[in-house]
Structure 1
């Protein structure tokens, strides 16, 4: 009789545990349905640098195609040109990208002298072309899951007036 009572008590606990697991799995599944943010480089302004480094303020337009706002408290950015690291930057900027909205943010990036030399050597080795492949990667920090990653890639086309200078 004593063992039958223990079995009866454990059945409601099993039911609660099963329901809890089902809700947890449903919650995790709904988190993975976020669309990736869209990013466009919309500006590049020079900043003062130190020594041989170059600094720029990269202006990014971040579009949020999701039904919930993205709150962030920092941003990290990496830029590659010709499949080689070129510039990196971080900012402790805080903000929010509204649901189905967009925001423009500015991130200071540093281009090391080594990166400039590497790109120049690529031009001297016969790699110049009318367009340069680029990749932008980054992360909006914050939120429950640690942030939102983004990336964009494409080709930068040189104006016709500069193509003859190669």
Structure 2
């Protein structure tokens, strides 16, 4: 009886020390010389464009300037066209960016532009006039005690470049 209780106590201590060691390992990842990854929107693909639903694929390049691989566990985003919120959401895809390397992260986006149709039609009346876009978000990094890295990208698109002749 005494031997069994002692064994259980030792197992509990070993499990507790293992968990604490894992937490210390996670927390040291984000202390000291950690540098935020660089995140760039590299491509927007139109998957489907119907009257009531539009689907896009946003492609990001994530550069890791650190000496350790970087686990990425999701992205929270908001996309604006001029001052209109086009889409917002959260992606929960996982990937690992190697140390001093890069990976691409793709995020599917679904929108419904019906409520903004009048405004969009006015924008498209002058297809050579640029339209501003802005993407704001956060990349969720790390495992248990991760951190969020803010991303922001903006620019202009010219609608006439996307209208088939």
Is the contact between residue 47 and residue 57 of structure 1 (CA under 8 Å) also seen in structure 2? no
Measured after TM superposition, the shift of residue 122 of structure 1 is 4.7
Name the larger-Rg structure.
1
- What is the aligned counterpart of 1:30 among 12, 29, 32? 32
Q: How many residues align?
A: 134
Which runs of 4 or more aligned residues in structure 1 lie more than 4 Å from their structure 2 counterparts after TM superposition?
Answer: 126-129, 158-162
Measured after TM superposition, the shift of residue 127 of structure 1 is 7.9
Give the equivalent residue in structure 1 for 2:131: 132
Q: TM-score, normalised by structure 1?
A: 0.61
CA change 1:57–1:66 in 2 (3 A) is: same
| Residues 101-159 of structure 1: CA deviation (Å, up to 9, x unaligned) | 221122111212346426415527x8865322111122222422433221111122345
| Residues 71-130 of structure 1: CA deviation (Å, up to 9, x unaligned) | 122222221111321122332211112232221122111212346426415527x88653
CA change 1:160–1:54 in 2 (3 A) is: closer
Q: What secondary structure sits across from 1:62 in the alignment?
A: strand
For the residues of structure 2 that align with 1:48 and 1:154, how far apart are their CA atoms?
22
For the residues of structure 1 that align with 2:36 and 2:105, how far apart are their CA atoms?
20
Q: Structure 1 residue 120 and structure 2 residue 113: aligned?
A: no
Map 1:12-161 to 2 at 5 A. Answer: 30=32, 34-47=35-48, 52-114=52-114, 116-117=116-117, 119-120=119-120, 122-123=122-123, 130-143=129-142, 144-159=145-160
Structure 1: which 5+ residue stretches go unaligned? Answer: 1-26
Is the contact between residue 36 and residue 150 of structure 1 (CA under 8 Å) also seen in structure 2? no
CA change 1:134–1:74 in 2 (3 A) is: same
RMSD over equivalenced CA pairs, Å: 3.5
Measured after TM superposition, the shift of residue 35 of structure 1 is 4.0
